[in-house]
Structure 1
Amino acid sequence: MSIPNEALQRLVQEIEIQAIQAQQQISTVKSQIALKQREIRMLQLTSSEVSTLPADTPVYEGVGKMFVFNPIPDVEKRLTTETSELKADVENLGKKLLYLETTHKNSREHIDQIFKSGGKA
């Protein structure tokens, strides 16, 4: 039993659209991961610089167009919190990337399978 050409064409078109969308989302997620990893690296560098300062050193953080004094322990705590949040974000984005790559691969396999079977169900 073969599938009518119109139905087969629609099916292939829908799968192709799904594969294209997955590919676009993959590139978006990869850039988000790279951005967050860069932010993590900046926070780690800042943390290592702050940790080398003497305990009584005044530390100022930029807030808008001004600088506000913050004690070193508060700065280190904020840096640690932000780093852990970013690492969790990267982990979640990694899971999303794996899902999207699997979706893309499956879409391509389905298209190949349709063409190999010659449109027969």
Structure 2
Amino acid sequence: MSIPNEALQKLLQEIGQKKAFAEQQLLIVKQQKAVKTRESRVLQLTSNELESLPSETKVYEGVGKMFVCTPIPDVQKRLTAEGEALKAEMTNLDKKEDYLEKTFENSKNSLEQVLRSGGR
């Protein structure tokens, strides 16, 4: 039993679009993961610098166009909260990346299977 040419073309087009979309989204997710990794590294370096400072050191945080003197424990608390938020975002991006990789592979395999069968 063979598939009519129009149906075969439509099937190939749909699978190809799904594959291209998954590939595009996969690249976006990888870029987002790279940005989050850099942000995490900056937070870690900032935290390490704060730990090395004496406790009486004045620390200033940027708020809009001004700087506000903030106690070191408050800054460390904020950095910890931001780090945890970044970890949660990275976990979500990892899940999304896994899903998109599976979608991409399934689309690629389906495309190959249809082409191998020759529309039969």
TM above 0.5, yes or no, is yes
Q: Which runs of 5+ in 1 are unaligned?
A: none
Counterpart for residue 29 of structure 1: 29
* Structure 2 CA distance for aligned equivalents of residues 12 and 97 of structure 1: 24
Counterpart for residue 79 of structure 1: 79
* Structure 2 CA distance for aligned equivalents of residues 45 and 97 of structure 1: 27
* Structure 2 CA distance for aligned equivalents of residues 87 and 60 of structure 1: 25
Opposite residue 32 of structure 1, the aligned amino acid is Q
* Structure 1 CA distance for aligned equivalents of residues 28 and 112 of structure 2: 26
Deviation at 1:77, TM superposition (A): 0.3
* Structure 2 CA distance for aligned equivalents of residues 61 and 119 of structure 1: 65
Deviation at 1:56, TM superposition (A): 1.3
1:25-80 Cα deviation digits (max 9, x unpaired): 00000000000000000000000000111111111001111001110000000001
Counterpart for residue 97 of structure 1: 97
TM-score by length of 2: 0.98
> Structure 1 vs Structure 2: percent identity of aligned residues?
58
SS of residue matched to 1:56: coil
Opposite residue 11 of structure 1, the aligned amino acid is L
Structure 1 stretches of at least 4 aligned residues deviating more than 4 Å after TM superposition: none
Aligned residues: 120
* Structure 1 CA distance for aligned equivalents of residues 84 and 37 of structure 2: 11
Q: Which runs of 5+ in 2 are unaligned?
A: none
Question: 1:36-115 maps to which residues of 2 (within 5 A)?
Answer: 36-115=36-115
Counterpart for residue 17 of structure 2: 17
SS of residue matched to 1:57: coil
